Chain A
């Protein structure tokens, strides 16, 4: 039987919490993707032609969208992770975390723009 009340979105609506959510959700997504990624690369065991066939399948727009989201997730998890390492090991303070949040956002945008350019 519940004896306590819990926070809702109003309490969570601040930058450090968004950073946590992005980091956790991107981490989960990447972890779920990894076995698929290893399976896809292992297609090379059946020869170059077989792997090419698989890569052609990935040319579909939906797959390209998924790949873009994964690249975003990877970039976000990387930059968010660097921010966490700084917070935990370099004794960063509040204003510095906001700086890196901004830098992280810019990095993700740059990566996305580049990727979209080449698709």
Chain B
């Protein structure tokens, strides 16, 4: 059996695809002050970027730190920066992003780097909480179910944003997050928007106050990178624009 170091040193052959040259993969190592390290990874058919990272950690360098869980596009844990863009590595085929055989893999941007490809998600979820991203109703188990007709405008607005799984791709992609450390970010604001349109919720005043101003929806400059990158096809930009309109209404009515 080949020693892993020997396998790495024989870059241009792989038992499964003997004619395909190996991938040249640069992977971020260390903290925010780290650097890229280059690995040679055998090219396989239908290979995903997550497969590449897993190969490096198992076969070449067990000290590589990275996150994944479901590996089928449901949990969002494997989000990383691939060739400069944030995406789910389990759902990204190498063929789509490394046409020239080169891959650059780094941790998500805008989040503190713990080590290598792992970021600290705490600021992301702290802002979610600061945006009042939690449902607050006023009924109990003794009351009847709320009836929210799926065809109503409010429910449709909620449906457009409710599938967010908190993967952080939008937050990592947003330059306003980079330039404005207090900015709540697209995910937190999108969640706030789904709650603003939740007819059962009773915390609307506090929520609108939480998402207004320099750190809230008004800091969005419609770069729309969030909407470009969201793996679930959510458009936070649209929800944030909705928040701007809703907050303006509250301000004009003296409710802010």
Interface residues, chain A, CB within 8 Å of chain B? 1-12, 14, 16-17, 20, 24, 84, 87-89, 91, 93-94, 97
- Which one of B113, B178, B227, B241 lies within 8 Å of A7 (CB-CB)? B178
Q: Is the CB of B112 within 8 A of A12?
A: no
Residues of A within 8 A of B107 (CB): 5
Question: Number of A-B pairs whose CB atoms are under 8 Å?
Answer: 84
- Which one of A4, A6, A91 lies within 8 Å of B241 (CB-CB)? A91
Residues of B within 8 A of A93 (CB): 235, 238
Residue-wise interface mask of B (99-131) relative to A, using a CB-CB cutoff of 8 A (1 in contact, 0 not): 000000011011111000000000000000000
Closest Cβ neighbor of B220 among chain A residues: A88
Q: Is the CB of B244 within 8 A of A88?
A: yes
Q: Is the CB of B221 within 8 A of A4?
A: no
B32 is an interface residue with CB less than 8 A from chain A: yes
Q: Is the CB of A20 within 8 A of B222?
A: yes
Q: Is the CB of B228 within 8 A of A3?
A: no
- Which one of B106, B175, B221, B238 lies within 8 Å of A5 (CB-CB)? B106
Knowing A17-B223, A88-B241, A88-B245, say if A5 contacts B228 (CB, 8 Å).
no
Knowing A2-B33, A89-B245, say if A7 contacts B222 (CB, 8 Å).
no
Residues of B within 8 A of A1 (CB): 32-33
